[in-house]
Chain A
Amino acid sequence: MPKRRGTANNLIVTHNMQQVARASDYTATMILSKDGERSGTVIEFDDTKHIFTNPKDKRTEDYVTGRFG
């Protein structure tokens, strides 16, 4: 994937946090909607480095630190 950087856009949907941290430039965190009907509701989108060091949304924080999900 690093070889394709700048030439193609790759979108991966994963639970593997290490893969996300290593390979992506931007990250969107998604969650099941409150009523449980819609999966994939985006709760935060930012540079990957921000998501893993200082996320804005408490649910993102809980997820990347292993406290949720």
Chain B
Amino acid sequence: MLRKTFESEIQQVKDEVLVLGSMVEQAILNTVEALKKRDVKASEEILKADKLINKKRFDIENQLMILIATQQPMAHDLRLLASTMEIISELERMGDYAKGIANINIRMGDEPLLKPLIDIPRMAQKGADMLHRSLTAFVNEDLDVAKALPIEDDEVDALYNQIYRELMTFIIQDPKNIERANWLLWVAHNLERVADRVTNICERTIFIVTGEMTEVKATDDEFWKQQKQG
């Protein structure tokens, strides 16, 4: 085979993307666990882990640049490498959301949580699960999963909507709750964005397989639709 080396290098890149994805997945779950337990030290570890996520992203980007320069990819190969460049950027941003949640936990200091966390860990679990499956679909170029997965973003939007309403109730009850409610709202917002970015990964997988660039689901639609419906 003429392109055996190239194909094995592409496989290596895919493996590295899976490693990066797993680092991000772990960061999302750990950061919410740290917040739930109000464990500031664990949140500081998340900040350190984010530096490793960023480094891994740059390493993969570098690998991709070398492949593009030396192999002059065309057609499917070109779509794959260009999309991988996009996907690692999405993953790095998801890592930043986990870091953002860690920073909130650190900034909260000794303040107790406004309420026990129930839906926020659910959002994290769902987002991490969606992320995992989206990357498996990317590696296997599974069109069916890539098309079906973005619909599940509605579940995350619904949880966000629920948290939003609950926090608004706390604020209405006592304006002293504003700051602590706001912190949790940011946490929920970050997790909601994680699921949106999973949708972007699925769009890239669809592009790799079909060559068609389509928006499978407009982000935030479900949340704002529910807000309008009151």
Contacts and interface: CB of A to CB of B under 8 A. Distances in A.
A: contact size bracket: 10 to 19
Interface of B: 1-3, 6, 71-79, 211
A55 B77 CA distance: 12
A61 B76 contact: yes
Contacts of B71: 66
Contact of A67 (B1, B72, B78, B211): B1
A64 B75 contact: yes
Contacts, number: 35
Nearest to B7: A67
A52 B75 contact: yes
Contacts of B73: 65
A20 B128 CA distance: 44
A23 interface: no
Nearest to B6: A66
7 closest pairs, A vs B, by CB?
A54-B211, A64-B74, A61-B75, A67-B3, A65-B74, A65-B77, A52-B74
B2 A67 contact: yes
Contacts of B211: 53-54
